[in-house]
Amino acid sequence: MNIMNFGAAKIGYICLALLGMLTFSANVAAQPQPIWQSCQSLKTLSLNQATISDDEQALCYQFINGFLQGAVLTDSQIMRGLEEGDALSTFAQRAIRTRVGNSRATDADTYLAHFCLPTADIDYATVVSVAKALPKERSGQAGLANEVYVAVKKAFPCT
């Protein structure tokens, strides 16, 4: 009899935990996202301003800065690996030269990500330019990282 009570209690606790998680998820989804609000505030700043003075704006600034730093680091490492190409067959090397070209000296480090930053050094103006390219409203199911990616491509297209 104790085993049945334990099993029923276990099922009850699981149901209660699931209900709690669903309620928590609904509350989180209903609350405005602090990073998105921060980005909307950051959009109002001038590109000539030297620093971020508001903590609310700093949240978005750091998110976009980290996003761009990660993109520069990973894409530059991928391109270095492709340029070295020791493990690649001659066919693969020819295919890469056809797609990317023989020399990437004039290409941005983020060329593979379909955006071209002015320099690999991420500065204030670059981050604020991306924030200004963000839409006023988030689009449906797209995550924040995807929204930032679209804004980066809009602000710094490879032409």
**pLDDT tens digits along 90-140:** 776 677 667 665 554 445 667 777 888 888 889 888 998 999 999 988 877
Q: Which amino acid is at 71?
A: A
For the range 7-16, what are the long-range contacts, defined as Cβ-Cβ under 8 Å and sequence gap of 24 or more? Answer: none
Task: Please check the confidence at residue 155 and state whether its pLDDT lies above 90.
Answer: yes
DSSP per residue over 20-57, as a string? Answer: HHHHHHHHHHHSPPHHHHHHHHHTTS-TT--S---HHH
Distance of CA 135 to the CA centre of its chain: 15
pTM, 2 dp = 0.62
pLDDT band at 11 (very low <50, low <70, confident <90, very high): low
pLDDT tens, position by position, 75-95: 777 766 666 655 667 776 677
> What pLDDT does 158 receive?
85
Share the mean pLDDT of the chain. 72
Q: How many CB atoms lie within 10 A of CB 107?
A: 14
